[in-house]
Amino acid sequence: MPGYPFEHKEFWLDPPLQVSTNHIQENNINNTPEIITTQLSSAMPQRKERIITEIPEILEEASGIELEGADRDAGFVELGLDSLFLTQIALTLTKKYNTKVTFRQLNEDLSSLNTLSTYLDQQLPAEKVVASPPPVSSRPTTSSPQQQAPSVVPMGNMNAGDGNLQWLITQQLQVMQQQLQMMSGQAPMPFATPSSFPNTAPNASTPNQQSETPFVSAEEENELKKPFGAVARIEKSNNGQFTIDQQKWLSAFIDAYNARTKKSKEYTQEHRAHLADPRVVTGFKPHLKEVTYQPVVNRSLGSKIWDIDGNEYLDVLNGFGSNMFGHNPPFIVEALQDQLQKGYELGPQHELAGEVAKMICELTNYDRAGFCNTGSEAVLGAIRIARTVTGRSTIICFNGSYHGINDEVILRGTKKLKSIPAAAGIMPEAVQNMLVLDYGTPEALAIIKERAHEIAAVLVEPVQSRRADFHPKEFLQAVRKITSEAGSLLIFDEVITGFRTLPGGAQQFFNVKADLGTYGKVVGGGMPIGVIAGKREYMDALDGGHWQYGDKSVPEIGVTYFAGTFVRHPFALAAAKAVLLRMKEKGQALQDSLTNNTTRLAQEINKYCEQLKTSFHIVHFGSLFKPKYDADMHNIDLLFLILRHKGIHIYDGFPCFLTEAHTQEDIDTIIHKFKEALLEIVELGFIPGDTNGQKVNGKSSIANPKFNANNPPIPGAMIGKIQTEVQIGSFPILLDQANI
Ligand code: PMP
């Protein structure tokens, strides 16, 4: 028996009104003429009454403020509904009654339940029927995750046909299944709440889908296991399978690497206890444990950085793309020093804010721009604006794109169009309004077309940083057309592509005007910054839009919430101003020169990769380049370690960037080091390829492969213990004579 009491409640229908009409009732549950005539009347007092009981429901759902029994003549603001809620409510009412209700009206003429319901009643066509809403507690909820996933649903509040009843039964079955799984020692499956059901149609999933389809198939589970974005990659059980020669090389390499970066290693160990840092552990594999640490740096200039052991590195990571001009370029340093002298006050409006916003608009060809501190915040704000102005919830994004650290964008899509969180701690509910498609495919386009009217925005990383050679121009143009026609927004996440190939970013490159663009990285000149720029009608959702002093104008547009303590930080503004002035001054020549250098680097490395017959290669876009390799290259991490050991600052999995500070000589050095490192790991057999007889350092670098210490030529012969320094790959090491 259920472990909760039945609650007996009676619900009475209103008595029929005897007003004659020929109209047909929408919610006709009983075709008797009396009922039809009752419900279909255009008797306004009756309909207005229904509207007035319905509206508090809508207001409650949007605000969470209980309005049952509220004074019908009290102003909404008096009832505790502030402008944020009223913006949302205006959209909901417009959608629900198919009658325009604006934020401004809710503040003025329609600011009470009475005035609003009278207005709606007058606006609705005479034949439009508004059904009596069932009592609050008896309705299945569909809005917030908390409402969708109650831990206990009072049984007495349910009807047999109610979706909640099915859901409750499904929950109970799952609890029992989990208990059985736990008793048999298996890990339990995640709980399926209505909102964690596969969302082939966001907000449209039913409990039944859960029982028909497993939560994730084995194939999908495999795909989901791949690390997402910059998540810390830790493999605790991969010990690698190496030949004796490879083991010798590895051991020599680890010694040499540790000797060169001794202080960095000590520093990392010393501070592990109190410094929690995912980046320090990423790349962990048992056989690489001793080299799993980053160079700890304390100095940089131009294209170079120096670690605390005094080693010099040519930097190709360059602040993950935030550095376009090299380290400490004098024009940014001067701007920062100047700002430091003046102060870095937070809170008051800063004199640089307007000027910087104007320059961003000029370069990006947008009307308005707003600031935040990171690219992630910019993406969050853009999504929020899209939902505010459209009143829709679904955001389309794409597999393989990266949009920062907000819960909603750390997800993967499965082939069955389920959205699954891609990191621990992100609840399935958090991604239920996201729909992830494959980027640039006709299938994706068809789905966008089909569902265009429920989409708040299509969010694209126009050139995915991990797939820099994929430039789906026609796809983007088609998405632009569909979204424009359907009243959905197109958001270009230009946090990396912005200002990179062209001053106008990917929009200029693809000749596609998005409604909103998100920016960061480069434009901050090394200071933390995020920017949302866009068309006036959308950006106005941040501040209510244009108004002026001295007349009756007011901020007309309903606003959403977007703020932050460090927004418009004077250092970020000062550095951004310096960067934007530099960009304006140099024009497109700046981007062209960076693109040419990066193209040369990629082409030369790729030519060499072809010679080595390895699938490793470089893809590039503007000043971004990204190493790519087949998924089965399990030892590719060695390439990045060797490169670091050879003085190139690079990490596996991250896009690389050239800056204005990289000279032709620097680029030659990077190419040369890549070639050396590739040859070495191909020659040692760590990755598939063919050295074509080339040798590291011009001579065979591997210990005699024919020698087998376990099989001496004369039974019982002892292995000599005299040590000799030998060259293993490019690293000298002391080996027992007998092992040579
Ligand atoms: N969008 C894109 C395309 C990005 O590449 C990134 C960061 N790499 C972000 C958003 C998030 O930016 P941030 O790290 O500044 O939050």
Co-location of 448 and 539 in the same domain: yes
Q: Let me know: does 404 contact 376? Beta carbons within 8 Å.
A: yes
Query: Which domain does 608 fall in, by range?
Result: 244-326+590-683
Q: Please state, in angstroms and rounded to a whole number, the distance separating the CA atoms of residues 384 and 561.
A: 8
Report the separation in Å between the CA atom of 366 and the middle of ligand 1, taken as the mean of its atom positions: 20
CB 149 within 8 A of CB 194: yes
Residues 120 and 184 in one domain: yes
pLDDT at 191: 32
Q: How many CB atoms lie within 10 A of CB 342?
A: 11
Residues with Cβ within 8 Å of residue 459, at least 6 apart in sequence: 379, 382, 383, 395, 396, 397, 401, 403, 409, 491, 493
Could you give the CA distance from residue 655 to residue 673 in angstroms, rounded to a whole number? 17
Whether residue 495 has its Cβ less than 6 Å from ligand 1: yes
On whether residue 157 sits in a domain, the answer given is yes
Q: Is 683 in the pocket of ligand 1 (CB under 6 A)?
A: no
Ligand 1 centroid distance, CA of 496 (Å): 7
What are 112's strand-pairing partners?
75
Which residues make Cβ contacts (< 8 Å) with residue 234, sequence separation at least 6? 281, 282, 284
Give me the CATH number covering residue 280: 3.90.1150.10
Same domain for 454 and 489? yes
| Selection from 705, 708, 662 nearest residue 685 by Cα | 705
Q: Is residue 216 part of a domain?
A: no
* Residue 704 included in any domain: no
Query: Could you tell me the CATH number of the domain that includes residue 122?
Result: 1.10.1200.10
10-residue mean pLDDT series, the chain (740 residues)? 64 60 38 36 68 85 74 86 78 86 88 92 81 43 34 34 48 57 44 32 34 43 59 76 92 97 98 93 91 97 98 98 98 98 96 98 97 98 98 97 97 90 92 96 97 97 94 98 98 97 96 98 97 98 97 96 96 98 96 98 98 95 95 91 98 95 98 97 92 64 41 55 55 51
Report yes or no on 695 lying in a domain.
no
435 and 417 Cβ atoms separated by less than 8 Å: yes
Ligand 1 center to 540 CA (angstroms): 24
360 and 441 housed in the same domain: yes
Is residue 531 within 6 Å of ligand 1 at its C-beta? no
Helix, strand, coil share (%) of the chain residues, nearest 5:
45, 10, 45
Is residue 232 included in any domain, yes or no?
Answer: no
Question: Is the CB–ligand 1 distance for residue 566 below 6 Å?
Answer: no
Q: How many CA atoms lie within 13 A of 152 on its CB side?
A: 8
Domain count, the chain: 3
Phi, psi of 629 (to 5 degrees): -160, 160
> Is there an atom of ligand 1 within 6 Å of 493 CB?
yes
Q: Does 660 sit in the ligand 1 pocket, CB within 6 Å?
A: no
Query: What is residue 497's predicted lDDT score, i.e. its pLDDT?
Result: 97
**d(CA 296, ligand 1 centre) in Å:** 23
Question: Same domain, yes or no, for 653 and 579?
Answer: no
Same domain, 259 and 381: no
- Answer whether 322 contacts ligand 1 (Cβ < 6 A): no
638 lies in the same domain as 514? no
Residue 455 lies in a domain: yes
Q: Is 626 in the pocket of ligand 1 (CB under 6 A)?
A: no
Are 535 and 610 in the same domain? no
Shared-domain flag, residues 625 and 489: no
Q: What is the CA(556)–ligand 1 centre distance, in A? A: 32
529 lines ligand 1 (CB under 6 A): no
pLDDT of residue 388: 97
Radius of gyration, alpha carbons of the chain: 32
My answer on whether 565 and 613 are in the same domain is: no
Alpha-carbon span 59 to 88, nearest angstrom: 9
Atom of ligand 1 nearest to the CA of 520: 15
Among the three residues 538, 559, 586, which one is the final residue of a domain in this structure? 586
- What residue owns the CA closest to ligand 1's atom 13? 375
- DSSP 8-state symbol, 610: H
C-beta of 403 in contact with ligand 1 (< 6 A): yes
| Residue 3, pLDDT score | 65
**Last residue in a domain, options 570, 586, 602:** 586
Residue 505, domain CATH: 3.40.640.10
Point out which residues pair with 455 in neighbouring strands.
394
Distance (angstroms) between ligand 1 centre and the Cα of 102 equals 34
**Domain end (from 633, 667, 683):** 683
DSSP H stretches of helix in 463-622: 473-486, 505-510, 536-539, 570-586, 588-611
Closest ligand 1 atom to residue 321 Cα is 8
Report if residue 84 sits inside a domain.
yes
Is the C-beta atom of 404 inside 6 A of ligand 1? Answer: yes
449 and 540 both lie in a single domain: yes
- Residues with Cβ < 8 Å from 28, sequence gap 6 or more? 35, 36, 39
Give this prediction's pTM: 0.75
Compute the distance between CA of residue 136 and CA of residue 140 in angstroms, rounded to an integer: 9
Structural domain contains residue 643? yes
Best residue among 317, 402, 408, 623 to mutate for probing ligand 1, ranked by most atoms within 8 Å of CB: 402
Q: Are 428 and 507 found together in one domain?
A: yes
What pLDDT does 46 receive?
81
